[in-house]
């Protein structure tokens, strides 16, 4: 049997990594090995699948706890047994939640036998610009997944639906009961693998699975105001299940690229504007861009200092599922002139001489050095 890689090693994180660290590492690796960025590279595609599989387990607290305790055996059929010889391999890939659901499902109104599970959920990654996040955009996402076989219509039988029979082992329930110490537990039927039915003459195109692997483009509508790290769920766009089982879901992780001018914090947008020293001292009016593509004028009063903020109401992002809008903030940074000419230096020296220690000109400067003087006098 091939050795399975450790999920923590796949995501290049420690076993004590926080949820945020797991998410950050996943996004970095998913971007690096995404099939769209490595077209024709089978190794990168395989790595991308491993990364998504590892993230699917470690992002969920219950699944992560089960993995930390039992390893891959907690999720894969045919795996090892847990403590005391209790075998977790027959419970599928749902982790501890599925274990208890299958143990006590009949008593607590859980899933009943014969209800086939849906196909596997899959994940994809898409990167958009800040402008696209502001306005909303439709993106076509490339996914490699399993779809219903066209030859047999997803039945898995070469004779179509007519060739599908009720499983003789579980009589269509999809599960069988087994004694485990003091417990009587249910497991997926080993004959039909939980489908509740069998195929007499398997389809040659899909080998009786009912599904085949295929690459396809899925349109994803990304709403205006979407934030970096948002996950969009597309119901029924995941892998098709075997033997006619309903398809799973597609989860699209959205990454918003950094912008050269704007920074975003929730619904608010920040724009850092450097001003020349004379502009800040004398006051001026500047034209700044807005994230919607327009322009606006901002009046800068005389004596403006580095760190001053100017608020433009309603110029930020839309708030999801709301008519509210965030604001835009202009952050001023006063730039010290460099490479002065002789005349410029003379003028500045004249200004400095004229200003002297007058607190009206530089109140922060004067006040600070007065406190410094008092401090040294006190220590002496």
CA angle 227, 261, 303 (to 5 degrees): 120
Give the Cα separation of 62 and 254 in Å (integer): 24
Which pLDDT value is given to residue 360? 65
Which pLDDT value is given to residue 114? 42
Q: Please name the CATH architecture into which domain 119-258 falls.
A: Sandwich (2.60)
Which pLDDT value is given to residue 344? 92
Which pLDDT value is given to residue 270? 95
Q: Please name the CATH architecture into which domain 260-338 falls.
A: Sandwich (2.60)
Token pair recorded at residue 305: 């200092």
Q: Is 271 annotated as a binding residue?
A: no
Q: In terms of Cα–Cα distance, which of 132, 195, 206 is closest to 169?
A: 195
CA 194 to chain centre: 32
Q: Which phi and psi (to 5°) does residue 150 adopt?
A: -70, -30
- Among left, alpha and beta (phi > 0; psi -120 to 50; other), residue 307 is left
Model pTM score? 0.56
Which pLDDT value is given to residue 159? 76
Which pLDDT value is given to residue 166? 82
Q: How far is CA 228 from CA 232, 264, 312, in A?
A: 12, 10, 23
Which pLDDT value is given to residue 36? 76
Give the Cα separation of 256 and 269 in Å (integer): 14
- Asked whether the domain spanning 260-338 has the same topology as the one spanning 119-258, the reply is yes
For the chain, the structural domain boundaries read: 119-258, 260-338, 340-380
Kindly list the averaged pLDDT for each block of 10 residues, start to end, along the chain of length 380. 76 90 89 82 87 89 82 58 39 42 40 55 92 93 84 77 78 77 75 76 80 88 91 89 75 93 93 94 94 93 93 90 88 93 93 75 76 79
């Amino acid at each position: 049997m091939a050795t399975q890689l450790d999920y923590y090693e796949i995501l290049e994180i420690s076993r004590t990594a926080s949820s945020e660290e797991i998410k950050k590492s996943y996004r970095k690796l998913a971007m690096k090995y995404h099939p769209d960025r490595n077209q024709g590279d089978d190794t990168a595609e395989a790595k991308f699948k491993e990364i998504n599989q590892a993230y699917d387990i470690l992002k969920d607290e219950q699944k992560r706890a089960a993995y930390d305790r039992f390893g891959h055996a907690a999720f894969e059929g045919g795996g090892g047994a847990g403590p005391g010889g209790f075998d977790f391999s027959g419970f599928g890939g749902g982790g501890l939640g599925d274990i208890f659901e299958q143990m006590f499902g009949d008593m607590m109104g859980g899933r009943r036998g014969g209800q086939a599970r849906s196909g596997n959920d899959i994940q994809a990654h898409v990167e958009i610009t800040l402008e696209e996040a502001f306005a909303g955009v439709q993106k076509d996402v490339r996914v490699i997944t399993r779809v219903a076989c066209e030859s047999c219509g997803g039945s898995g039988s070469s004779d179509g639906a007519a060739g599908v029979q009720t499983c003789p082992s579980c009589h269509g329930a999809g599960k069988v009961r087994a004694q485990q110490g003091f417990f009587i537990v249910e497991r997926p039927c080993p004959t039909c693998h939980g489908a509740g039915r069998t195929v007499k003459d398997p389809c040659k195109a899909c080998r009786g699975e009912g599904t085949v692997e295929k690459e396809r483009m899925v349109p994803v509508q990304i709403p205006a105001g979407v934030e970096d790290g948002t996950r969009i769920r597309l119901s029924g766009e995941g892998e098709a299940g075997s033997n006619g089982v309903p398809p799973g879901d597609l989860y699209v992780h959205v990454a918003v690229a950094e912008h050269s001018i704007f920074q975003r914090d929730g619904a608010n947008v920040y724009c850092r504007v450097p001003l020349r020293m004379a502009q800040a001292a004398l006051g001026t009016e500047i034209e700044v861009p807005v994230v919607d593509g327009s322009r606006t004028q901002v009046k800068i009063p005389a004596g403006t200092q580095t760190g001053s903020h100017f608020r433009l109401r309603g110029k930020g992002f839309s708030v999801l599922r709301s008519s509210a809008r965030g604001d835009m903030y202009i952050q001023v940074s006063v730039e010290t002139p460099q490479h002065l000419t002789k005349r410029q230096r003379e003028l500045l020296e004249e200004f400095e001489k004229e200003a002297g220690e007058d607190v009206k000109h530089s109140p922060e400067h004067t006040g600070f050095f007065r406190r410094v003087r008092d401090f040294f006098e006190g220590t002496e």
